[in-house]
Amino acid sequence: MRIVRFAVPATIAAATIAGCSSAQDPATPSGSATPPDTEVTVVTHDSFAVPDAVLAQFEGDTGITVTFVAPGDAGSLTNQLILTKDAPVGDVAYGVDNTFASRALAEGVFANYESAAPAAADATNYAIDGSTALTAIDYSDVCLNYDIAYFEDNGLAVPETFDDLLKPEYKGLLSVTNPATSSPGLAFLLATIAAKGNGWQDYWTQLEANDLRVTASWSDTYYTDFSAPNYGGDFPLVLSYASSPPFEVIDGEATTAVLLDTCFRQVEYAGVLAGAKHPQAAQEVIDWMLSDEFQAALPENMYVYPVSTSVDVPEDWATYAPLSENPWSVPASDIDANREAWLTEWTAVVNP
Amino acid sequence: MARRWVAARRHLAWAAVVAAPLVFLAVFFAWPLATVLARGLAGTGTGAAWEVLTSPGVPESIATTVVLAGLGTLGSVALGLPAAWALYRLRWRGQVAARAIVAVPFVLPTVVVAAAFGALFARHGLLGFAGLDQSVAAIVCALVFFNVSVVTRVVGSAWASLDPGAQLAARTLGASRSRAFRTVTLPAIAPALGAAAAVVLLFCSTSFGIVLVLGGTRVRTIETEIYLQVNQFLDLHAAAVLAVLQLVFVGAALALASWARRGRDRVANGRELDGSREARRGDRPWITATLATLGALIVLPGIALVERSLRVEGGGHSLANYAALVDPPARSVLPVTVAQAALNSVVTALIAAVIAAALTVAVSAATVRGPRWTRWIDAVAMGPLGVSAVVIGLGMLLTLNRNVAGVDLRTSWALVPLAQAIIALPLAVRILVPATRAIDPRLRAAAASLGASPWRAWRTIDARLLRGPVALAAGFAFAIAMGEFGATAFVARPDRPTLPLAIARLLSRPGAENVGMGFAAAVLLALVTAAVMLATERLRTRVRADV
């Protein structure tokens, strides 16, 4: 009985929000074929966040009620979509990234949809070759970050390239994450594969010989290992994101920065699920994700860059988080074809 | 004729008793597990399974699992046994607080414990000189840190109610202190010790996060292999083979525990004894040594944790992170305040503890008093402990993504306490089964001969005598539910996070204020749990006074 009672206020609150906003905007947009009061389920990963106001406006404008479910990280999300494709758990999925996209596409998880939203043209810059089933929504760069003060205090030049990291003066300074257990770790491995081609195993052997530290997850490398003033660990070079430095600004001074030649670009996609109960409404959700309101909210809520070029990123991002002009990339189909082989070889090299 | 009717009624009554836990376990444990195994093993033979077991890395991971589980259990027993004596058999000032502190590590989220131990073993850390970073030794320390409270609490309860007479008699007859312990005390606490060790062995062998985080890439176990096969390669066949292997391992551990316990069940005569005594001058060195070891293990990481919760931008210290717990979070990291998440956690954990306690009473009764065919439910209830959380999570995704009896479980909030109750059930059962077994059957026989119905006999005898153990089981269930992360993460709604989910979320974002809040929230979790464990402690003492 108690369980039921606790569930009720949430339902009432949701109904009230939807009710209020539709009272203000009684008419659904003409041309939309979605019947009012359609309930759409968006399957996403555990980092998803959208401001209440942005969501309420969408629900008010369209009469669609959106429910979010989050089964885990991007990998768990993709696996769930594949394993449940015969009875999809929702109508739209958001958060499949370019390291998992090929697998989902090969399994026929998504239905084709080309959005006509203004930002759709920007999104096609990140499209996966030969498919219109996934729409790019945002991207982020996985890069090595460094502790500015450490290099100044020790009179040490900041390394720039992958090859620099092998030099003896940087011995024991680098902490990265395990590509088998962490998504930035996989991105970094892919960056080295893009840069070194067939010589990547050899590169990692040398990196390992230079006292590389490998942790299981981003938080271990960043919070525990990073020597930046906010954390006080032992490693001045750590794997994180291009968007991390703005969060380490103290009294207007940057304390960390990014090695722009070590970046791998991760792109996140949304798509209508094949077999969705409400495909029409699902398409409207994709359009909404490309709208200025949703795109502008991405940096502050999910720490990623919007694909749309017509919205501004926050001021401190422009100052402290410049993007790599030439990030490393590996075609999505290559990633999927070689994932297991690469991870097995990496494990053999780094953990003999 | 009448006799046969009575026998049938008895079987029917027991069927009703086991129905609730059975349906519960079937829906939330057996069904998801069977689905994964069926999908993974369909159409494959033993040859393919053998290929998985001999593929690179797997034999080593099996060996590592056995070694880690063994060392973790040995360490927990070696430290837990003297701790049980010092904290429960003796009485001294401040011992109640010490008991509560020992219980806290059990519920801390992995990510937080890993950060605390990581800070301790890092080069500049307090124990950095030992060079144990990313070693098996560091993992064993963390496993003992987590599990010593189980041994202390379960063995302590049994020890405290042990009649000191027999031991005194042995001493009077000239037995040395150690000989009296070996021949009198140890056999008497053996059932509790066996139960605790079995649970700890299972916890250690399926411990996932701690191995992953503290081992980095260097230490691999069956559990981390399953994770790899599921999350990276989506190789359900390999995952299913490894899951079956894990089940075999768990079955062997349980069989070993029950063999070690055979014939040693202590029978209580209906009066609960208070066998504890005031600490004497001669006990002091022993208490001090025990507390010092416990302190090094529990308090040092605790200090690292509290220090991090006070650290603010630039490396200074203040209470700002604690003030932020009640503010709406900046930058939308969380949809609710941390205080609200804590409230969500307390409410769900209370419901989970009530469900788990009720199911445990049914399971224990069926195991001890039921007809032969209901006794295996004891082993079934241990299942959730022995199966990889990754496999169960995957199974839940495959099975619960639809309406079950008209309820859309996928988005139902009720799934959270249900999932937590499943996770808490095995430990609660291991606490209550020995306690139920210890009730003298002659009491029931006497009640029956006086004309009491079985239900009446249960109410007047079992229900009274079991109040303490049930409170203990419910307290542990609450603690497990409070700290539960793996299963909760699969079923919780993003807009209703529990405290561990909120902590994980805060710790997955850069920025000093997010980390600081994450650690402050972890301290809050520790405090709430300690308070509840203290309360069940009080309840136990008060109840004993009644009887």
List the single residue in A84, A218, A300 with the smallest CB-CB distance to B398.
A84
User: What is the spatial distance between Cα A109 and Cα A273, in angstroms, rounded to a whole number?
Assistant: 6
- Residue B270's alpha-carbon distances to B227, B263, B372, B439, B464, in angstroms, are 48, 20, 25, 7, 10
Per-residue model confidence (pLDDT) at position A1: 28
Report helix, strand and coil shares of chain A as percent, to nearest 5: 45, 20, 35
Has residue A22 got a pLDDT over 50? no
Q: Look-up: residue for tokens 């429910």?
A: A67
- Do the beta carbons of residue B117 and residue B132 sit within 8 Å? no
Beta strands in B280-408 (DSSP E): 403-404, 407-408
User: Measuring CA to CA, which residue among A14, A81, A72, A27 is closest to residue A270?
Assistant: A81
Q: Look-up: residue for tokens 């230079």?
A: A210
Per-residue model confidence (pLDDT) at position B410: 60
Determine which of B128-137, B260-269, B433-442 has the lowest per-residue pLDDT on average.
B260-269
pLDDT band at B408 (very low <50, low <70, confident <90, very high): low
pLDDT digits (tens, 9 = 90+) for A234-243: 999 999 999 8
User: What is the spatial distance between Cα B436 and Cα B362, in angstroms, rounded to a whole number?
Assistant: 11
Half-sphere exposure of B491 (CA within 13 A, CB side): 29
Q: Which of B48-62, B295-309, B342-356, B406-420 has the highest mean pLDDT?
A: B342-356
For residue B411, the 8-state DSSP code is G
Among chain B residues, CA nearest to A9: B413
Half-sphere exposure of B336 (CA within 13 A, CB side): 18
Of residues B469 and A169, the one with the higher pLDDT is A169
Q: How far is A234 from chain B (nearest CA, A)?
A: 7
Q: Which of A325-339, B104-118, B269-283, B385-399 has the highest mean pLDDT?
A: A325-339
Would you state the torsion angle of the CA atoms of residues A333, A336, A341, A344, taken in this order, to the nearest 10 degrees? 140
Would you state the torsion angle of the CA atoms of residues B189, B190, B196, B201, taken in this order, to the nearest 10 degrees? 150
Helices B499-506, B110-121: inter-axial angle, 10-degree rounding: 50
* Cβ distance of B493 and A51 shorter than 8 Å: no
What is the residue-averaged pLDDT of chain B?
Answer: 81
Chain A residues within 8 A of B227 when measuring between CB atoms: 181
- Residue A282's alpha-carbon distances to A65, A137, A287, B285, B375, in angstroms, are 11, 15, 9, 70, 51
- Do the beta carbons of residue A85 and residue A275 sit within 8 Å? yes
Record the tokens describing residue B322, joined without a space: 């604690």
First-last CA distance in chain A: 56
Per-residue model confidence (pLDDT) at position A35: 67
pLDDT band at A212 (very low <50, low <70, confident <90, very high): very high
Of residues A126 and B380, the one with the higher pLDDT is A126
For residue B88, the 8-state DSSP code is I
Determine which of A15-24, B158-167, B321-330 has the lowest per-residue pLDDT on average.
A15-24
Has residue B187 got a pLDDT over 60? yes
Give strand pairing partners of A68: A42
Return the ∠ at Cα A289 (arms to A288 and A294), rounded to 5°.
Answer: 90
pLDDT band at B266 (very low <50, low <70, confident <90, very high): low
For residue B23, how many other CB atoms are within 10 A of its CB?
Answer: 10
Has residue B269 got a pLDDT over 70? no
pLDDT band at A266 (very low <50, low <70, confident <90, very high): very high
Per-residue model confidence (pLDDT) at position B246: 86
Give strand pairing partners of A97: A268
Per-residue model confidence (pLDDT) at position B272: 54
Is B313 an interface residue toward A (CB < 8 Å)?
Answer: yes
Phi, psi values for residue B300, rounded to 5°:
-60, -50
Chain A residues within 8 A of B39 when measuring between CB atoms: 83
Per-residue model confidence (pLDDT) at position B117: 81
pLDDT band at B512 (very low <50, low <70, confident <90, very high): confident
List the single residue in A67, A72, A347 with the smallest CB-CB distance to B489.
A72
* Cβ distance of B510 and A248 shorter than 8 Å: yes
For residue B214, how many other CB atoms are within 10 A of its CB?
Answer: 30
Q: How far is A258 from chain B (nearest CA, A)?
A: 14
User: Measuring CA to CA, which residue among B480, B468, B434 is closest to residue B537?
Assistant: B468
User: What is the spatial distance between Cα B336 and Cα B328, in angstroms, rounded to a whole number?
Assistant: 6
List the single residue in A219, A230, A247 with the smallest CB-CB distance to B315.
A230
List the single residue in A7, A223, A301 with the smallest CB-CB distance to B115.
A223
Provide mean pLDDT across the span B449-456.
82
Provide mean pLDDT across the span B335-350.
89
Per-residue model confidence (pLDDT) at position A223: 85
What is the residue-averaged pLDDT of chain A?
Answer: 85
User: What is the spatial distance between Cα B245 and Cα B227, in angstroms, rounded to a whole number?
Assistant: 14
Q: Which of A269-278, A300-309, B20-29, B416-425 has the highest mean pLDDT?
A: A269-278
* All residues at 6 or more sequence positions from B56 whose CB lies less than 8 Å from its CB, including other chains: A344, A348
* Cβ distance of B216 and A48 shorter than 8 Å: no
For residue B273, give the 3-state DSSP assignment.
coil
* Cβ distance of B124 and A234 shorter than 8 Å: yes
Q: How far is B504 from chain A (nearest CA, A)?
A: 9
Q: Which of A198-212, B77-91, B92-106, B320-334 has the highest mean pLDDT?
A: A198-212
User: What is the spatial distance between Cα A33 and Cα A281, in angstroms, rounded to a whole number?
Assistant: 8
Would you state the torsion angle of the CA atoms of residues A306, A307, A310, A316, taken in this order, to the nearest 10 degrees? 30
User: What is the spatial distance between Cα A158 and Cα B540, in angstroms, rounded to a whole number?
Assistant: 62
Per-residue model confidence (pLDDT) at position A85: 86
Is B328 an interface residue toward A (CB < 8 Å)?
Answer: no
Phi, psi values for residue A72, rounded to 5°:
145, -150
User: Measuring CA to CA, which residue among B168, B147, B169, B224 is closest to residue B389?
Assistant: B224
Provide mean pLDDT across the span B77-98.
88
CA Rg value for chain A: 22
For residue A183, the 8-state DSSP code is H
User: What is the spatial distance between Cα A230 and Cα A232, in angstroms, rounded to a whole number?
Assistant: 6
User: What is the spatial distance between Cα B480 and Cα B107, in angstroms, rounded to a whole number?
Assistant: 6
H/E run at residue B319: none
Determine which of B200-214, B349-363, B525-539 has the lowest per-residue pLDDT on average.
B525-539
User: What is the spatial distance between Cα A229 and Cα A226, in angstroms, rounded to a whole number?
Assistant: 9
Is B32 an interface residue toward A (CB < 8 Å)?
Answer: no
Q: Is A3 exposed, middle or buried (0-12, 13-18, 19+ CB in 10 A)?
A: middle
* Cβ distance of A181 and B228 shorter than 8 Å: yes
For residue B6, how many other CB atoms are within 10 A of its CB?
Answer: 9
Phi, psi values for residue A61, rounded to 5°:
-65, -35
Per-residue model confidence (pLDDT) at position B333: 66
Has residue A99 got a pLDDT over 80? yes
User: What is the spatial distance between Cα A47 and Cα A74, in angstroms, rounded to a whole number?
Assistant: 9
Per-residue model confidence (pLDDT) at position B265: 54
Per-residue model confidence (pLDDT) at position B137: 87
Q: Which of B35, B61, B234 would best serve as a mutation to test chain A binding (most A beta carbons within 10 A)?
A: B234
pLDDT digits (tens, 9 = 90+) for B232-255: 788 889 989 998 888 888 788 777
Percent of chain A with pLDDT over 90: 54
Q: Is B174 exposed, middle or buried (0-12, 13-18, 19+ CB in 10 A)?
A: exposed
Beta strands in chain A (DSSP E): 39-43, 65-69, 92-97, 110-111, 135-147, 174-177, 213-215, 237-241, 256-273, 305-306
Has residue A342 got a pLDDT over 70? yes
What is the maximal distance between C-alpha atoms in chain A? 68
Return the ∠ at Cα B82 (arms to B81 and B88), rounded to 5°.
Answer: 90
Of residues A284 and B287, the one with the higher pLDDT is A284
For residue B163, the 8-state DSSP code is -
Is B93 an interface residue toward A (CB < 8 Å)?
Answer: no
For residue B388, the 8-state DSSP code is -
* Cβ distance of B411 and A247 shorter than 8 Å: no
Of residues B263 and B170, the one with the higher pLDDT is B170
Provide mean pLDDT across the span B311-333.
76
* Cβ distance of B511 and A247 shorter than 8 Å: yes
For residue B329, the 8-state DSSP code is P
Of residues B536 and A176, the one with the higher pLDDT is A176
Would you state the torsion angle of the CA atoms of residues A28, A34, A35, A41, taken in this order, to the nearest 10 degrees? -110
Per-residue model confidence (pLDDT) at position B361: 92
Per-residue model confidence (pLDDT) at position B539: 63
User: What is the spatial distance between Cα B217 and Cα B70, in angstroms, rounded to a whole number?
Assistant: 21
Has residue B342 got a pLDDT over 50? yes
Per-residue model confidence (pLDDT) at position B111: 66
* Cβ distance of A225 and B509 shorter than 8 Å: no
Per-residue model confidence (pLDDT) at position B446: 85
